[in-house]
Amino acid sequence: IVAGYGDEAALTELAEKSDLLTYEFENVYQDVLARVQKRTGVLVPQGVKLLTVTSNRINEKNFLRTHGLPTTDFAKVASPAELKVAVKELGFPAILKTVSGGYDGHGQWDINSEQDVKNMLEKWPKNLLAILEKRVDFVKEISVMVSRDNCDQVKLWPITENR
């Protein structure tokens, strides 16, 4: 089955052919998944609640901070006026990202100067909900995968460096 993440008919077809559904990508449409799960009864061991955190960069940053984990400084940006305010608060360099749906550089704009701000304001995407993040110099990026089975056994996979 080849379809977009929000294709409810295709997800229903997949659910009807499956014993369970899992996801490893935060850009799954939680509302569609919840409806399909309810309608078909397919098991979704991860549930959909996790997606409310991982699919929204603002929710994710607030979740991390609530649990004592550091994040870069950030500001919600829903309009050109809010971008101007956020840039004044955070300064340069920064990166503007869509709150949801973007990945691996998609839905991201470097904001390193007043000229970048001006360029962004001139081509402001319709209905953009974004987050401005203070850019952080880092040595490396790593990924950590953790899984838990139905018996609450937790497995930590090897830490990997992203290149």
52-72 pLDDT per residue, tens = 898 899 999 999 999 999 999
Residue 29 burial (10 A CB sphere; 0-12, 13-18, 19+)? buried
Q: For the chain, what are the domain ranges?
A: 8-54, 72-134
Residues ≥6 apart with Cβ < 8 Å to 86: 75, 76, 77, 94, 132
113/137: higher pLDDT: 113
Average pLDDT of every residue of the chain: 93
Residues ≥6 apart with Cβ < 8 Å to 125: none
Q: What's the pLDDT score for residue 101?
A: 81
Residues ≥6 apart with Cβ < 8 Å to 103: 27
Q: What is the mean pLDDT of residues 88-116?
A: 92
139-160 pLDDT per residue, tens = 999 999 888 887 889 999 999 9
Contact criterion met (CB below 8 Å) for 77 and 111: no
Q: What is the mean pLDDT of residues 129-136?
A: 96
102/90: higher pLDDT: 90
Fold (CATH) for 72-134: Dna Ligase; domain 1 (3.30.1490)
Q: Which residues pair with 155 in a beta bridge?
A: 147
Q: Which residues pair with 131 in a beta bridge?
A: 76, 97
Residue 105 has pLDDT above 80, yes or no: no
pTM of the model: 0.82
